[in-house]
Amino acid sequence: MTRSAPRTTESALATMFVLTILYQTYFVWLDFRIDKPINAWLNVGGIVFMSGLLISLRLRRLRMSRAAYYTVPFVAFWQAVFLLMGLASPAATPITTYTTHVITVLIAFAFMPLRLAGVLTAVYWAALAAVTLTRSAVDLSTFGDVAYITLLAGFLGTHGRQLYEERRRAETLEDLAHLDVLTELPNRRAMLRALRGREGAAPGAEDPKPDILVLLDIDHFKAVNDGHGHETGDAVLRHVAGLLRAGTRHRDVLCRWGGEEYLLLLVETSLDEATFIVERLLADVRHARPMGLPPVTLSAGLSVWLPPQTAEAAIAHADARLYEAKQAGRDRWAA
């Protein structure tokens, strides 16, 4: 758990992708039904594209800002194709052409630089006007309504962009306030907040799976700094943090507690499960041979956290067990 701020902007973007996929799926069915296979296959391509973006966003393979950036040219291209197809038909401009135009404007002003969004809107509005006014059945009422809605879409898109940027700045500040910059793990403040959240949810003594607090410390870390320099010491801290992060379950909370110490909260975990996890983490660090870094080991102290015991008392107990592990020879755990 490295980020604590709620991802409302990401959820909103993902929701937009889902709605677009459903919208296009409907028109795939409709276009095949009314014998418009070209339109149907264009929408199939849109479904594949949007589904790829949605999956990449959910799997963290694609940043939210990059996904939004890809969406704008896709919708613009999609709109351009339908406009060109409209030029070849003498019939009245389909209402779907107007709706996709409004969607294009809304997304452009929401995610693109304002000047570029304005140019894109002007170009598409001119193309839409050309298509509409050359039809044999010109619906000036609908055309006027869409002109007004387009202006509203631009305004709402710009306002939405401002809210999005403010939210992103707030989330960035929130992350920095609870992030250890060196190791990119949550810091002590983030862990204390997580512990406060768990204090009311900690199970009773009769529950076989309480929470477990594990305090881990790099053995002989001062010797690493003295013998290899502080830059190497920082690299060791990042290396160990990476190994611990890789071996930690998604529901657990790992932080840099301070100096060369890390604190791990194992949520709803029996003591047997906790000792298995800790033994594996110690082995991962023990057997790692990072290039250019000295080999290191960890010692760990475990504490079963049960109410009415406070988190501070459980951490103090884990610290006492860590001291026992150090006294017993290091590279081991005590509970």
Instruction: Catalogue the active-site residues.
Output: 260
Calpha distance 222→253 (Å, rounded): 26
Residues 6+ apart with CB under 8 A from 208: 270
Identify any residues that bridge with 93 across adjacent strands, giving them in sequence order.
Answer: none
Asked if residue 218 lies in contact with residue 296, where contact means CB atoms within 8 angstroms, the answer is yes
Cα(38)–Cα(35) distance, rounded to whole angstroms? 9
Q: Which helix (H) or strand (E) holds 333?
A: strand 333-334
Q: Is 306 helix (H, G, I), strand (E, B) or coil?
A: coil
**Distance in angstroms (rounded) separating the CA atoms of residues 214 and 244:** 12
For residue 263, report the phi and psi dihedrals to the nearest 5 degrees: -120, 130
55, 17 in Cβ contact below 8 A?
no
Q: Would you state the structure tokens that stand for residue 41, as one six-digit string? A: 């296959």
- Long-range contact set of residues 113-116: C-beta below 8 Å, sequence gap at least 24: 114/158
CA distance 82 to 286: 61
